Amino acid sequence: MNRFENMENFIRVVEVGSISGAADRLGVAKSAVSRRLKELEEHLGVELFHRTTRRMNLTDTGRAFYHQCVRILEDTLEAELASAQVHGTLKGGLKIALPSTFGLMHMGPAINEFLQAHPQIEFDLDFNDREVDLMQEGFDLAIRIARLPDSSLIARRLAPIQSIMCASPSYLKKMGTPKTPDELLTHQCLVYSLLHDYEYWHLTDAEGKEFKTKIRPYLKATTGEFIRDAAVADQGIILVPSFIVYKEIERGELIPVLKEYKPLQIDAYAIYPQTRHLSQRVRTFVDFLVKRFEGTPYWDLQIQKLT
Amino acid sequence: MNRFENMENFIRVVEVGSISGAADRLGVAKSAVSRRLKELEEHLGVELFHRTTRRMNLTDTGRAFYHQCVRILEDTLEAELASAQVHGTLKGGLKIALPSTFGLMHMGPAINEFLQAHPQIEFDLDFNDREVDLMQEGFDLAIRIARLPDSSLIARRLAPIQSIMCASPSYLKKMGTPKTPDELLTHQCLVYSLLHDYEYWHLTDAEGKEFKTKIRPYLKATTGEFIRDAAVADQGIILVPSFIVYKEIERGELIPVLKEYKPLQIDAYAIYPQTRHLSQRVRTFVDFLVKRFEGTPYWDLQIQKLT
DNA sequence: AAATACTGTTCATAATATCGCAACAATTGG
DNA sequence: CCAATTGTTGCGATATTATGAACAGTATTT
């Protein structure tokens, strides 16, 4: 039994006032309308109409049920409309805040790919590492790399972000490869000051226990790319997210060190304000991102084996 | 496509977390669940789940749609429950105010008939001609005979009530049969004081125009039956609803007079307060009454030809 | 590391439900 | 009183839907 069609059927009969008329409007045989109405009445065990072979009058029960049917049908259509992709592409703007390095390196290609499917979307991208107030500044969405999501906002985890400690082969040859975290104090450390403490690096030992080890910051920068390039130029040891250095590691320009001590795992999130009616653009884009970054990130596929 | 089953299907998949599990719960093959889910996604043109052959995660779109589906299904089930006769008979009380004469003569048999089908209903009948405050005194329903329904309440028309002017053959023989309304002043009029003015009877002429004619009240009573009996006992001319005197007219004990001048048409109504959730008892009983009194009332079938 | 168990999807077949047509019964309006 | 219209029912044809096995991919276990 198709509850839905039966309701629609019933509504039409009420509004047109006759079975024949409703059948015309619905484009089906009147026998079908009659039978569906009968089915509905049998299902409810109630008479919806007083029938006098030629005339039909709603019963009180029928009238009450009619109003509820109308409301339910409207709700359903609205729900479908709100969720349905209005065929093909989306339109409108999408203002997004995203961290500069991750944004440039990995969100850029993703956004380009999304634009293939939805060329009508106008992206307004703000590459910035400061924390923006989503509501205040009218952002639809922000990409954040953090240890835990901000609970006051909706957060969808996009990808795990693992950091890697590494240095160039030449540097290691010249200065030696550290065997324990303590030895880092004798090395030149290049600090990515956004994600880590200035003077400490947080690690976990073989048993998964957290601890921090003091380092000697030889150079500090808020851009991961800069200290990566510095490390490639034999300037010292860095601790940066793998998504920044994965190519250099694959090419052997940088070599992981102290692999037994895993840096703290953090994550990339898409976050957006809690609004009652989330726009279809945001929903679709976030769905797209979640799917694209699902599983082990492509930047970790190769270097996974090396760590 | 069965929207409803698809929604139910989708909800189950979300709640159980897997297609196989949902299939077990629903008692259908998992292929059916899979296909319906696919149908729903194609209908919306949207991915509801991120799928990884083994694991399924709701998309944002899916989550939003899920909540709306749940609400819609709940509404639907509630609507059906509110309208459905819970198989067989109803239970509970039904407190009804009804006019004494009409109540005794015509509602009595109707209520008895209703009790055949629903013996569990406990009727609490208040035969009374004063206007009761439904809300205040806790009535579920009132039967009223009036010209127009009280607009602040829900009113369902049960039957047309036509009045008849008549007298006994002996009386007419002795005093003469009036030919015009004016002549009524020379007659003994017995007044049913509830429905009509004390000193005027309201009539319509052949063209349907309303007018009132003065009468000389010889006897007044608030009980139709009393003045009917008085008229049968040759006491004078009465103007009463046909449902009171139809048997006497059929038997020839009373004879209509001034048939060309129709008394004003009034109606019998079932009225009840506007509450958000009308009880199923009231609805079913009113539906029953409307159906029972539908068309020309049985008390008018015979005398129709005589007037 | 390999095997196993479990997942979701697909396909052809079978069962089911639904529809339209036509005949019928009942009522209304001229 | 007849004609026209309405709602209901039965039957054959059609379309829809479920089923169960085979398949492909992924965790879990040993």
SS3 A244: helix
User: Residues A8, A151: one domain?
Assistant: no
CA proximity to A35, closest of A57, A64, A6: A6
Mean pLDDT of the B55-81 span = 89
Sheet with B163-167, strands from edge to edge, namely B217-221, B189-192, B237-241, B163-167, B255-256
> Per-residue pLDDT tens for B88-116?
566 677 889 999 889 989 998 999 888 88
| pLDDT of residue B207 exceeding 60 | yes
Q: Is pLDDT larger for residue B213 or for residue B135? A: B213
pLDDT value for A151? 67
A151 Cα distance to chain centroid? 15
Angle, CA of A175, A179 and A184, to the nearest 5°: 60
Answer whether residue A39 is part of any domain. Answer: yes
Last residue of a domain, one of A63, A83, A103: A83
- Which residue, counting CA atoms, is nearest to the C1' of nucleotide D18? B32
Rounded to the nearest angstrom, the minimum Cα separation between A3 and chain B is 6
CA proximity to A40, closest of A1, A97, A93: A1
pLDDT band, very low/low/confident/very high, at B216 (cuts 50, 70, 90): confident
User: Residues A122, A146: one domain?
Assistant: yes
> Per-residue pLDDT tens for B239-290?
999 999 999 998 999 999 998 888 888 889 999 877 656 777 888 899 889 8
CA proximity to B117, closest of B307, B248, B281, B297: B281
Kindly identify which residue of chain A lies nearest to residue B49, measuring between CA atoms.
A287
* Structure-block tokens of residue A269: 């999130």
| pLDDT of residue B33 exceeding 60 | yes
Pairing of strands B210-214, B154-161: unpaired
User: Residues B192, B285: one domain?
Assistant: no
| pLDDT of residue B171 exceeding 90 | yes
Answer whether residue A305 is part of any domain. Answer: no
Kindly identify which residue of chain A lies nearest to residue B76, measuring between CA atoms.
A72
| pLDDT of residue B87 exceeding 70 | no
Query: What single-letter amino acid sits at A34?
Result: S
pLDDT value for B277? 64
Identify the helix (H) or strand (E) that includes residue A122: strand A121-127
| pLDDT of residue B3 exceeding 60 | yes
User: Residues B136, B207: one domain?
Assistant: no
Rounded to the nearest angstrom, the minimum Cα separation between A265 and chain B is 22
Kindly identify which residue of chain B lies nearest to residue A281, measuring between CA atoms.
B61
Does at least one atom of strand C sit less than 7 Å from the CB of B108? no
Does at least one atom of strand C sit less than 7 Å from the CB of A305? no
Residue A278 belongs to domain spanning: 92-161+267-300
Across the strands, what pairs with A25? none
User: Residues B201, B75: one domain?
Assistant: no
Pairing of strands B189-192, B217-221: parallel
pLDDT value for B7? 94
Interface A-B, measured as beta-carbon pairs within 8 A, has a size of: 124
Identify the helix (H) or strand (E) that includes residue A234: none
Domain harbouring B19, CATH code = 1.10.10.10
Answer whether residue A62 is part of any domain. Answer: yes
Report which of residues 22-51 in chain B place their beta carbon less than 7 angstroms from any atom of strand C.
30-31, 34-35, 37-38, 51
**Whole-number CA gyration radius for chain A:** 31
User: What is the distance in angstroms measured between the alpha-carbon CA of B53 and the sugar C1' of D24?
Assistant: 9
User: Residues A149, A170: one domain?
Assistant: no
Answer whether residue A290 is part of any domain. Answer: yes
Q: Is pLDDT larger for residue B127 or for residue B150? A: B127
d(CA A306, CA A246): 11
> Quick check: B69 and B7 in contact, CB under 8 A?
yes
d(CA A210, CA A205): 7
Q: How far is CA A231 from CA A191, A254, B297, B298, in A?
A: 11, 8, 102, 104
> Quick check: B242 and B300 in contact, CB under 8 A?
yes
CA proximity to A213, closest of A221, A205, A225: A205
Kindly identify which residue of chain A lies nearest to residue B291, measuring between CA atoms.
A50
Query: What single-letter amino acid sits at A110?
Result: A
Residues 6+ apart with CB under 8 A from B147: B264, B266, B267
Q: What is the 3-state secondary structure (H, E, C) of chain B?
A: CCHHHHHHHHHHHHHHCCHHHHHHHHCCCHHHHHHHHHHHHHHHCCCCEEEECCEEEECHHHHHHHHHHHHHHHHHHHHHHHHCCCCCCCCEEEEEEECHHHHHHHHHHHHHHHHHHCCCEEEEEEECCCCCCCCCCCCCEEEEEECCCCCCCEEEEEEEECEEEEECHHHHHHHCCCCCHHHHHHCCEEEECCCCCCCEEEEECCCCCEEEEECCEEEEECCHHHHHHHHHCCCCEEEEEHHHHHHHHHHCCCEECCCCCEECCEEEEEEECCCCCCCHHHHHHHHHHHHHCCCCCHHHHCHHHHC
Answer whether residue A306 is part of any domain. Answer: no
| pLDDT of residue B168 exceeding 90 | yes
Domain harbouring B211, CATH code = 3.40.190.10
Answer whether residue A194 is part of any domain. Answer: yes
User: Residues B232, B251: one domain?
Assistant: yes
User: Residues A7, A61: one domain?
Assistant: yes
pLDDT value for B196? 57
- Which residue, counting CA atoms, is nearest to the C1' of nucleotide D17? B32
Does at least one atom of strand D sit less than 7 Å from the CB of B24? no
> Quick check: A264 and A163 in contact, CB under 8 A?
yes
SS3 A172: helix
pLDDT value for B275? 67
User: Residues A218, A250: one domain?
Assistant: yes
d(CA A54, CA A21): 13
User: Residues B201, B238: one domain?
Assistant: yes
Answer whether residue A171 is part of any domain. Answer: yes
Q: Determine which of A2, A76, A85, A294 to mutate to test the interface with B (most B C-beta atoms within 10 Å).
A: A76
Last residue of a domain, one of A48, A83, A118: A83
User: Residues B128, B148: one domain?
Assistant: yes
* Structure-block tokens of residue A123: 């992206």
Contacts of A284 in chain B (CB under 8 A): 46, 61
Answer whether residue A44 is part of any domain. Answer: yes
User: What is the distance in angstroms measured between the alpha-carbon CA of A275 and the sugar C1' of C23?
Assistant: 59
Q: How far is CA A292 from CA A34, A111, A304, B48, B63, in A?
A: 51, 11, 19, 15, 18
pLDDT value for A5? 92
Identify the helix (H) or strand (E) that includes residue A26: helix A19-26
Whether A72 and B68 lie within 8 Å, measured CB to CB? no
Q: Determine which of B76, B85, B284 to mutate to test the interface with A (most A C-beta atoms within 10 Å).
A: B76
All residue ranges of chain A with pLDDT < 50 are none
Handedness of CA B290, B291, B294, B300 (dihedral sign): negative
Last residue of a domain, one of A15, A50, A83: A83
User: Residues B185, B208: one domain?
Assistant: yes
Counting the structural domains of chain B, the total is: 3
Contacts of B5 in chain A (CB under 8 A): 2
